[in-house]
Structure 1
């Protein structure tokens, strides 16, 4: 869990994904379209990916991917992120965390 917290706090926006997950791809694309450059950690390509996935589950991430952290705080999975985008608050969260500038 310490590794997850450490990685999640290193950049303003961090996404834990799997390379074969279509929702993970969609969330990454959304962040890129908003102008953010999130740190992306693909668990199926990480040496300790399985351990990290279990840690995400222990933090309450369900499903475990995509798991999005903004400003070091767990924000949610794909459904949560899409809801935040639709209501307009995702962009403001990214601005507040200095992941994008306007």
Structure 2
């Protein structure tokens, strides 16, 4: 859990995902379209990826634990939560407050 917390707090937007997670690709594309340079932590490529995925599943209260999106070091949730925030107009505010958007 410490590794997840540390990685999530290093950048304004951090997405934990796996190569096979289509929703991780979807949320990454959304951030790109918004002009946000999100950091993607590919758990398949990390030697401690399985351990982090289990920690994320506990943190999110569901399995699988990916994708898991952090904004400003805080867990936002998965793709459904990010999309809900985007559609309501709240995502832009969160991204500005985290320093991910300057407009």
TM range (shorter): over 0.9
Q: What TM-score do you get using the length of structure 2 for normalisation? A: 0.94
How many equivalent residue pairs? Answer: 102
Q: Deviations over 1:10-63 (max 9, x none)?
A: 001000011111111000000011111111001111111000001112222534
**Structure 1: where are the runs of 5+ without partners?**
none
**Structure 2: where are the runs of 5+ without partners?**
none
Q: Cα RMSD between the aligned structures?
A: 1.0
Secondary structure of the residue aligned to 1:37 is: coil
Distance 1:20 1:30 in 2: 17
Secondary structure of the residue aligned to 1:75 is: strand
- State the match for 1:49 in structure 2: 49
Q: Which runs of 4+ in 1 moved over 3 A?
A: none
